[in-house]
Structure 1
């Protein structure tokens, strides 16, 4: 469909999408196209069989394996996890059920938020059980089942539970119960030692251009929470299979698609809409994103009209303001209202150019002017995230003065965001201004009591202030 292609071309032109796109409607593919390079160094174009990391989309498959084991009578969703993980802290394991892990209602801390994750944990090359024993904390941030907080830890543990029940590797169970059954021949778990054909190179987009992404051992550090790779063609096979009974019978499929707190169900966020995009139609959206070093993925399905959108990106576009969600919104507008809404350039790129040519202060003044007088000409999606990311860019260049000015502005714009206070606490810590750092980490904890990084940093600061 030409309008959808035009939308994707524009996102690609503005460096907001690079990779494979597939759109289906009424069970038929209406667009399958690729935008940009799978490997920029070798000048290799992306294709519909190019393999991309899909990050947290893996959770749908982990959830499916759990439901298949339930269907076989090998597990119950209300089972305590200590039944399958005898090595885990029993006092906590006896409180947590399989359902708590599936729905992100366990109260466990999210291990990918730990301060050591990017600097140490990503390099580990141990068994998944050893990794969990070494790093996972079993203190609960809230009583299980009372709240919902996105938690990769829970899905990592689900992978270990699947292995404990089947006496097989998570990867082999995926292949046996899903990939081989529905013909997903180009999908798997990334092994750092394995040579994978037609594999996309992952990139991060810095304000000065693209660069190769940082290393991560997907098999060990991410596992059942997000270690899969796949292709646009294979992901369409997955969507098609979810309409039939090949993987689950109707009874268990209904449970698989039943949302819990905040609409979360087995790797999908499910919402009902009574007048979707003012189309007058009652529909259900099932969506999820996946982001991992160098890659972003977004999928969305609307079962009433058999609509499926999959976007596989190897430039970490989702980190740049949630642009893949915006692409899907624009595609839905075409499908339901025949309305073409073309993307706009991301405002932060323009502001960074001003900062680079003049000063950070001039860039912030310029940004304020754009917000006041030219707001409709620019893309402000994920504005808070973009400001935070820009502060970190300056921080990586050891320019703490510039980083502080950017994050001060971010705090003025988003005074109720725990994340900007966390960043400002880090900047003050690096500057050795410990009282100010303490004040900001206290503020971020006030806004988000589950911020383990802030808790650890406050302990470090207290020790330093005592000296």
Structure 2
């Protein structure tokens, strides 16, 4: 008995010691993560809620900045943020729940449920192809009218789809992968057709109520939502309120949800259980297809992840919608979950939320992590405003050559593109052109950069130069519908002169 009691006490002491070590380790990790995120916040690269979980335990749960700057209201872990395309994993879950109930098959076609949709392609495209972005359908959020017209519509989902969706396939269904919001919008309509209920009601019944997500839903433009963050855009000169969008109509099941850090943890916890899907259907849900895209998640295997000696799986997705950015990432082998909810559209500033998650992973796996640096484009913009765009570009070249390690060049291509639009929006197309010319010299294979320059030339009424750039855009990206439409407009303008 004495020997047993002694062994029991030794084991108990070891357990307590192990728990203290884990606790201390988590505290050290939390300090490092907090330091990193605080730096991103100081550099206007993150504002919102952060939650980091490892081995099922919270390592860090903290909020940075204001949920509403006008009222000086701090963000909390129960502040509601738009989560954009992170909605897709919930839409995919509803489809899988309906499959599990025997109400839909993954090889069913669009036309089986939406007979009003184009028969030409609706009878060919499968549910699986909609889920994996392999349908070939054009992405409606890339259409030229999306930001100027479509975001203001107040239509039913079906009426919106009938009015705007196109059936000109960019490639044969199932042969390639191209991110497509159109597919996930159609999935929401299919869910409504099968259940005979609104999409948001099905979400509530089949997911939110089941796992206790009480602060999550679909934004309705007329609804007053408590604890809802105000969305902002950072426009180089400071923050401003974001532009209006009718979330329920314009993005619907492709990106219309809001949630909280606490609710999103409940979602992650549920994915480790069979409360929503059985093992067979969970395997399908998490299996990557073309482009490593599973059902609403990008799933990738990594050998010796961050030199840890471990083989792990990352499951991640980003979300971006007017005034908000969201990124989630999970590593099931170590029960790691990172959720970043931002109300300043930080994801457009050099892809900074992905950078934060990379740094968090580095700390969790004891890898070397550098302290964040200020975004180069902010420094250059100050020079352009105080002196001139030409001087600013020369200053940028000098910093890039001689002080590269002192600045953050993440998303450099997108930042140059965004800066050009900043001057274009101020009615300065000549300055915008100088910036985009420099961008072309840096990124000669970027279809997006040529697309922007084509737009600038069009505004300057240099239609031949505009045509040349849009042709180059299509050469680099044959699926760019905006370039196709703009070339059609230019040809109509030029035809009387030929």
Matched residue SS, 2:60: strand
- The answer to whether 1:423 aligns with 2:452 is yes
1:282 equivalent in structure 2: 311
- The answer to whether 1:48 aligns with 2:77 is yes
Tell me, yes or no, if the aligned pair for 1:283 and 1:304 is still in contact at 8 Å: yes
Cα distance in 1 between the residues matched to 2:414 and 2:244: 22
Tell me, yes or no, if the aligned pair for 2:307 and 2:367 is still in contact at 8 Å: no
Matched residue SS, 2:365: helix
Cα distance in 2 between the residues matched to 1:340 and 1:374: 20
Cα distance in 2 between the residues matched to 1:412 and 1:190: 42
1:249-264 correspondence runs (5 A): 249-264=278-293
Tell me, yes or no, if the aligned pair for 2:138 and 2:169 is still in contact at 8 Å: yes
1:100 equivalent in structure 2: 129
Count of residue correspondences:
467
- The answer to whether 1:131 aligns with 2:160 is yes
1:216 equivalent in structure 2: 245
1:396-411 correspondence runs (5 A): 396-411=425-440
Cα distance in 2 between the residues matched to 1:431 and 1:244: 58
Structure 2 residues without counterparts, runs of 5 or longer = 1-29
Cα distance in 2 between the residues matched to 1:443 and 1:145: 26
Deviation at 1:338, TM superposition (A): 4.8
Cα distance in 2 between the residues matched to 1:456 and 1:132: 19
- The answer to whether 1:234 aligns with 2:263 is yes
Deviation at 1:340, TM superposition (A): 3.6
Aligned counterpart for 1:72 among listed residues 97, 101, 112: 101
Structure 1 residues without counterparts, runs of 5 or longer = none
Matched residue SS, 2:340: strand
Aligned counterpart for 2:408 among listed residues 379, 384, 402: 379
Cα distance in 2 between the residues matched to 1:99 and 1:266: 9
1:15-414 correspondence runs (5 A): 15-414=44-443
The range that moved more, 336-345 or 390-399, is: 336-345
Normalising by the residue count of structure 2, what TM-score does the alignment of the two structures yield? 0.93
1:429-440 correspondence runs (5 A): 429-440=458-469
Deviations 1:348-400 (A, max 9, x none): 00000011111111111111111111000000000000000000000001101
Cα distance in 2 between the residues matched to 1:437 and 1:297: 35
Deviations 1:300-356 (A, max 9, x none): 000000000000000000011100000000000000125342110000000000111
Tell me, yes or no, if the aligned pair for 2:306 and 2:367 is still in contact at 8 Å: no
Deviations 1:113-155 (A, max 9, x none): 0000000000000100000000000110100000000000000
Tell me, yes or no, if the aligned pair for 1:3 and 1:340 is still in contact at 8 Å: no
Higher gyration radius (CA): 2
2:12 equivalent in structure 1: none
2:24 equivalent in structure 1: none
Cα distance in 2 between the residues matched to 1:125 and 1:55: 19
- Runs of 4+ aligned residues of structure 1 deviating over 6 Å after TM superposition are none
Tell me, yes or no, if the aligned pair for 1:207 and 1:352 is still in contact at 8 Å: yes
- The answer to whether 1:453 aligns with 2:482 is yes
Cα distance in 1 between the residues matched to 2:175 and 2:399: 43
